[in-house]
Amino acid sequence: MSLFLFLTVVQALVGAGLVGVVLAQRSEGGGLGVGGSPSGLMSARGAADFMTRATTILATIFVILSIALAAVSVETTSGGDVDTSLDRSLPINDPLAPAAGDSVAPAPVESAAPASDDPLAGAASE
């Protein structure tokens, strides 16, 4: 199993845990420390709260894993071949295609007469 795949699975698990911990926290009003009680966020009780510590630890691990995944993905995907199958400036290796510089007139289109034994051919005129 590659390191990139392993780190991606760990990143997904940490992300799911982070979402769960954040959703399980009690809402105190005043998001981002704005409003609410002034002693709630910075008090000893608020800093020592298990959910706050779990959120901090999981968020730190999430950021570190994101940086590690970015570094590993650069190593694994750098220097690849470029697919030029859709590049129209390159010559096509089609034996039926006219060579460069040849002028070929388009073939005339033959008009097909309706078949006489077609049961629906006369249905439009009735």
Q: For residues 68 and 107, what is the distance between their CA atoms, to the nearest angstrom?
A: 60
Residue 108 within a domain: no
Contact call for residues 8 and 45 (beta carbons, < 8 A): no
Residue 10 within a domain: yes
Per-residue pLDDT of 61-110, as tens digits, reads 999 999 999 998 887 666 667 777 776 775 656 666 656 665 656 666 66
Residue 59 within a domain: yes
Split into its structural domains, the chain has a count of 1
Maximum Cα interatomic distance, the chain, rounded to a whole number of Å? 96
User: CA-CA distances (angstroms) from residue 72 to 5, 23, 58?
Assistant: 10, 31, 21
Residue 85 within a domain: no
Per-residue pLDDT of 37-63, as tens digits, reads 555 555 545 544 888 889 999 999 999
Name the residue range of residue 69's domain. 3-26+42-76
% of the chain exceeding 90 in pLDDT: 26
Residue 89 within a domain: no
Residue 99 within a domain: no
